[in-house]
Amino acid sequence: MTVSIPRKKVKPIRLKQYRFRITALGFAILLLLPSMDQWFGFSSKFKSTEKRILAPFPTFRFPHIMTFIHEFDQYYKENFGWRNALFHTYSYWKLVGLGKSPLPEKVVVGKNGWFYPGNSLNRVADQHQGICPLPLSSMKAIAEKLAYFQRQLAEQNTKLYLLVAPDSYSVYPENLPDFIKSTKQSNFDLFKHYLNQHTSIPLIDVYTPLIEAKKKRPVYCQTDTHWNDFGSLVASLAMVNRVRNDFPQLPLASLDDYRIKVLRGMGGDLTTMLALNKEFRDSVTYKIKPVSTLAAYQIENTPNSQMGLASSRFIGQHPQLPKLLMIGDSFSFSMNQFVPNYFGKTYIVRNTAFDLDLVKAEQPDIVVLEIVERNINLLVNY
Amino acid sequence: MLFSSAIFLFLFLPSFLIVYYIIPHHWRNAFLFTASLFFYAWGESVIVFVLLLSAFINFLAGKLIEQGKRKAGLTLSLVGSLSLLIYYKYANFLVDSVKGFAEVFMMPITDAINLAQIALPIGISFYTFQGISYTLDVYWGRIKANRSFLDYGTYIAMFPHQIAGPIVRYADIAPELIDRTLSVEKFGVGAERFIIGLAKKVLLANTFANVADTIFNAPDTTYSTGVAWIGIVFYSLQIYFDFSGYSDMAIGLGKMVGFDFKENFNYPYIARSIQDFWRRWHISLSSWFRDYLYIPLGGNRGSKLQTYRNLLIVFFVTGLWHGASWNFIIWGLYHGLFLLIERAGLARRLEKMWAPIPYIYTIVVVMIGWVFFRTENLPKAIMYLKKMAGFVPPETVNTFPFSYFLNIETIITLLFGLLFAMPVYYRFHEWVKALQTRFRFQKLQILFDSLYTVSLILLFVGTVMYLAADTYNPFIYFRF
């Protein structure tokens, strides 16, 4: 008869307890970390890149309890500890790890290091896919409005021009992501056709020169919504030479008037929105200087609270030349360096409205209204 | 206040838990009740009184029943609770429906019927059903009425299950309302469950929602039949992970405060019939309807026709419970119809079929049903179904090609979604447990558990990262 030796009882390991204890501890610490960060500022090197004032701590005004609650909710949402650091990590993970835009409505991620504005900017992506074509009624209203401005200006011998700065979608469609298919006829094409048929307002074409110029150097920023300084120069020269057709006394504008220095690029407004402007930069940036015999002098700089970009006044080296008033958006800002060099006096105003009183007060010979392609429909409200 | 919001996670929850764990045991119900009312009032303001009124009606009804005034108590509960539910949830729908019929039949009363929009109190469907189950259980003698409004109010208002369920029955947590244990381990179990639920909601459901919303909101000329199927597959996963994620968070929070809520989902997308689906989907609701409506109606004890009638009534009400619109009613009746067909013989046939067929049948029926659930109205639902069936002419503007949706993120999320919609995670734990019991290499086990916990913590941080992104709203130009 064999007697089986009882196996030594192994003491049960209380592993479940171990796992749940460390989970409990870890979770409790994680819940407390954001409050600690708010007090001690562990993550203070991560700044918000939202370009807006975050909600402040609300003041309680009895009996408006719900107002306080809503304000506090908003305050906490925008100020909780580690928020900016968490967003930065999220943004990097989405873009580098998953190859997707962290904020698709704000920024569209293209190919070869290109970024494009998203639909939050006047549905620009939808516009370029033909999803929201410019209605005929809008084109009619815009044409009538511009014709009215043209008539008003003609009374004081001022000539009106329209300059539409192309979106990066139009100039660099080859770097758009595959899921964005450009429409054959853009809103600008529709508008140009309508304007040419129904009005005599001269439309300055900067698209063709930009397409030509991009064969030599990049003309738009890869990480920004705007053209770069070289693109701005090309557009400025095209503008001056078109105006010169009607004002032959203006000097001929040429690339030879400038010395172009290529520098390492910086992060633009699109990658700044993603909080990745340090990680994703343009391949180049330009430092462009006119020859000394051409350079105009800036004599006034007026901050504009509405758009955040200042209006500037210049005086050229030949003050007897025609006087220019340019009303434009942010695309016109970099033109400050080039356009005034060819006019007697230049006033470049950043505005989203056509101010007839200003035109009457300034008495310019030429008015150029500049607007970016995606905002053509906004001309209805000018 | 949503569970998936920073203010809940990093302000309300830690503050609540610190106080809850510090105060003496006998103060905990009072504190949980007060904190839950605060939690509710934070988003709903004075509507918190509707919750309190509903709770008070059923508390009183329970007392009346126990005092022998059984009919009066039951009537008070049903009339009181249901009138609040009907007024807040269905009054606008009823008026609009009557108006719609009047317009169709050109009756001159159309202008006379008007009702201002009534705001729906969050969670009213849940707390009403909890209240009714309590009084019915007291009425049927299954439980004794609670004598303390504080305890009863804690059960009804308790924030873990207050806004999105599950429907917790009084009988299930009555002992814990009186005496419950708190421990670090239980807190850890709850934390693990909460983190998983939060990740299901934020990482999976929200990603599926982005795709599904884009497709369902797009004009039908901008996508193809294939994309319409992508839309419904993603919506099916969205609704599952959204709802089951919320249930996981509720169960996890319940454990943190010492309660054990029952499971609400059991991998519904691996069901082999619609009947099986309803045993696995929103279990607390389907079992509520079974116990408090289907069985009282006679269940399957009568003739076949009576059983079918009972089923259709239950699923009509199930549809209506989910929302005040004809789409939900049709969704409910659609499910009822398939249950009826299964009872009539399809169930037996399905059992004998080649194994994959019942799964495919169930998932296709469920997905088609979700179209009614997701779309805003019937014409849209029908249009979407036509698109899925390929009965709509090809798209004129192919704005949303396949490539728009199929990127690394959606593919990874889809794979995880499909994986976690099946009991893979559960089996993994079973497997690890078996290994640990068999080999008992303590160091290895500690290493595994440590790695698992670190993964959970990383999952939580990753989830919060996505939450932070939702609050980030940058502009091109300064807006000061």
Q: For residue B431, give Cα distances in angstroms to A23, A25, B32, B437.
A: 20, 26, 38, 10
Give the model's confidence band at B120: pLDDT under 50 very low, under 70 low, under 90 confident, else very high: confident
Residue type present at position B116: A
CB contact under 8 A, B474 and A50: yes
Residue of A nearest to B453 (CA): A23
Start-to-end Cα distance in chain B? 29
Mutate to test the interface with B, among A86, A221, A350, A374 (most CBs of B within 10 A): A86
Model confidence over B311-354: pLDDT tens digits?
Answer: 999 999 999 999 999 999 999 999 999 999 999 999 899 889 89
8 Å CB contact between B215 and B231: yes
8 Å CB contact between A244 and A343: no
Q: Which two tokens stand for residue B290?
A: 């079974």
Measured between CA atoms, how close is B74 to chain A, in angstroms?
Answer: 36
- The H or E element containing residue A315 is strand A311-315
Collect all residues with Cβ–Cβ distance below 8 Å to B109 and sequence separation of at least 6. B102
Measured between CA atoms, how close is B192 to chain A, in angstroms?
Answer: 7
Q: Is the Cβ of A69 closer than 8 Å to some Cβ of chain B?
A: yes
Which pLDDT value is given to residue B203?
Answer: 96
Measured between CA atoms, how close is A26 to chain B, in angstroms?
Answer: 7
Residue B457 has its nearest CB partner, among A30, A100, A117, at: A30
Q: How far apart are CA B135 and CA B170, in angstroms?
A: 10
Q: DSSP states of B376-426 as a string?
A: SSHHHHHHHHHHHHT-SPPPSS--S-HHHH-SHHHHHHHHHHHHHTTTHHH
CB contact under 8 A, A76 and B6: yes
| Percent residues over pLDDT 90 in chain B | 74
| Percent residues over pLDDT 90 in chain A | 77
Residue type present at position A241: N
More confident residue, B110 or B182: B182
Which pLDDT value is given to residue B106?
Answer: 75
Q: Is the Cβ of A14 closer than 8 Å to some Cβ of chain B?
A: no
Residue B477 has its nearest CB partner, among A28, A179, A307, at: A307
Residue of A nearest to B252 (CA): A24
Tell me the sheet residues that pair with A259: A289
CB contact under 8 A, B476 and A273: yes
Helix (H, G, I), strand (E, B) or coil at B176: helix
Residue A53 has its nearest CB partner, among B404, B452, B480, at: B480
B456-462 LR contacts (CB < 8 Å, sep 24+): B456/A23, B456/A26, B456/B192, B456/B195, B456/B196, B457/A26, B457/A27, B457/A30, B459/B195, B459/B196, B459/B199, B460/A27, B460/A30, B460/B195, B460/B198, B460/B199, B461/A30, B461/A86, B462/B199, B462/B203
Helix (H, G, I), strand (E, B) or coil at B231: helix
| Percent residues over pLDDT 70 in chain A | 95
Which pLDDT value is given to residue A5?
Answer: 46
Measured between CA atoms, how close is B162 to chain A, in angstroms?
Answer: 20
Measured between CA atoms, how close is B445 to chain A, in angstroms?
Answer: 7
Could you list the beta-strand ranges (E) of B63-222. none
In this structure, the strands spanning A345-350 and A311-315 are antiparallel
Q: Where in the sequence numbering do the catalytic residues of B fall? A: 322
Chain B CB contacts of A130 under 8 Å are: 397
Q: Is the Cβ of A89 closer than 8 Å to some Cβ of chain B?
A: yes
Q: Which two tokens stand for residue A284?
A: 């180049």
Q: Which two tokens stand for residue B390?
A: 């390929």
CB contact under 8 A, B465 and A52: no
A63 prior amide bond cis, ω within 30: yes
Measured between CA atoms, how close is B105 to chain A, in angstroms?
Answer: 38
ipTM of the complex: 0.89
pTM across the whole model: 0.89
Helix (H, G, I), strand (E, B) or coil at A16: helix
Which pLDDT value is given to residue A12?
Answer: 46
Mutate to test the interface with B, among A11, A20, A64, A307 (most CBs of B within 10 A): A20
Which pLDDT value is given to residue B110?
Answer: 62
Q: How far apart are CA B273 and CA B263, in angstroms?
A: 20
Which pLDDT value is given to residue B479?
Answer: 54
Residue B445 has its nearest CB partner, among A13, A51, A102, at: A13
Residue of B nearest to A35 (CA): B10
Q: How far apart are CA B229 and CA A234, in angstroms?
A: 48
CB contact under 8 A, B407 and A99: yes
Burial class of residue A70, CB neighbours in 10 A (0-12, 13-18, 19+): middle
Which pLDDT value is given to residue B398?
Answer: 65
Residue of B nearest to A274 (CA): B474
Q: Using CB atoms and an 8 Å cut-off, which of residues 138-157 of chain A contact chain B? A: none
Mutate to test the interface with B, among A27, A31, A100, A304 (most CBs of B within 10 A): A27
Chain B CB contacts of A32 under 8 Å are: 14
Q: Is the Cβ of A102 closer than 8 Å to some Cβ of chain B?
A: yes
How much is the mean pLDDT over chain B?
Answer: 91
Q: Would the pLDDT of B99 be above 80?
A: yes
Helix (H, G, I), strand (E, B) or coil at B206: helix
How many C-beta atoms surround the C-beta of residue B280 within 10 A? 17
> By mean pLDDT, which of A264-268, B39-43, B107-111 is the weakest?
B107-111
Burial class of residue B106, CB neighbours in 10 A (0-12, 13-18, 19+): exposed
Q: Is the Cβ of A56 closer than 8 Å to some Cβ of chain B?
A: no
Residue B471 has its nearest CB partner, among A53, A66, A78, at: A78
More confident residue, B160 or B425: B160
CB contact under 8 A, A13 and B440: yes
Q: Is the Cβ of A30 closer than 8 Å to some Cβ of chain B?
A: yes
Residue of A nearest to B195 (CA): A27
Residue of B nearest to A117 (CA): B476
Give the model's confidence band at B211: pLDDT under 50 very low, under 70 low, under 90 confident, else very high: very high
Q: Is the Cβ of A167 closer than 8 Å to some Cβ of chain B?
A: no
Q: How far apart are CA B234 and CA B239, in angstroms?
A: 9
8 Å CB contact between B444 and A274: no
Q: Is the Cβ of A67 closer than 8 Å to some Cβ of chain B?
A: no
| Percent residues over pLDDT 70 in chain B | 97
Which pLDDT value is given to residue A232?
Answer: 96
Q: Is the Cβ of A9 closer than 8 Å to some Cβ of chain B?
A: no
Mutate to test the interface with B, among A9, A11, A14, A15 (most CBs of B within 10 A): A15
Measured between CA atoms, how close is B468 to chain A, in angstroms?
Answer: 6
In this structure, the strands spanning A258-264 and A284-290 are antiparallel
Q: For residue B298, give Cα distances in angstroms to A212, B292, B295, B303.
A: 82, 11, 5, 10
Residue of A nearest to B11 (CA): A35
Chain A CB contacts of B472 under 8 Å are: 50, 83, 87, 103, 275
Helix axes B206-217, B408-420, angle to 10 degrees: 110
Residue of B nearest to A102 (CA): B469
Residue A87 has its nearest CB partner, among B186, B408, B472, at: B472
Q: Is the Cβ of A93 closer than 8 Å to some Cβ of chain B?
A: yes
Residue of A nearest to B12 (CA): A31
CB contact under 8 A, B472 and A225: no
Q: Which two tokens stand for residue A33?
A: 């970390």
pLDDT below 50 — which residues of chain A?
Answer: 1-13
**Helices vs strands, H then E, count in chain A:** 11, 11
CB contact under 8 A, B184 and A91: no
Which pLDDT value is given to residue A51?
Answer: 84
CB contact under 8 A, B185 and A20: yes
